[in-house]
Amino acid sequence: TEHISQEEEAYAAARLDKIRRQNRIKAELQAVLDEK
């Protein structure tokens, strides 16, 4: 297994977090649009 530095791990986690947040916002927007 390749060694992953803490810096890379933190970067990856931050990206994942950002993507999850964007997906949640997108889902919430879609839910609002679907209600109309």
Report whether pLDDT(33) > 90: yes
Query: Hey, where are the domains in the chain?
Result: 1-36
CA-atom Rg of the chain in angstroms? 16
Cα separation, 18 vs 34, in Å, equals: 24
Average pLDDT estimate for 6-18 = 97
Q: Dihedral sign for Cα 25, 26, 29, 34, please.
A: negative
Enumerate the H helices of the chain as residue ranges: 6-35
Phi, psi of 4 (to 5 degrees): -110, 125
Report whether pLDDT(29) > 90: yes
Residue 22's pLDDT band, with cuts at 50, 70 and 90, is very high
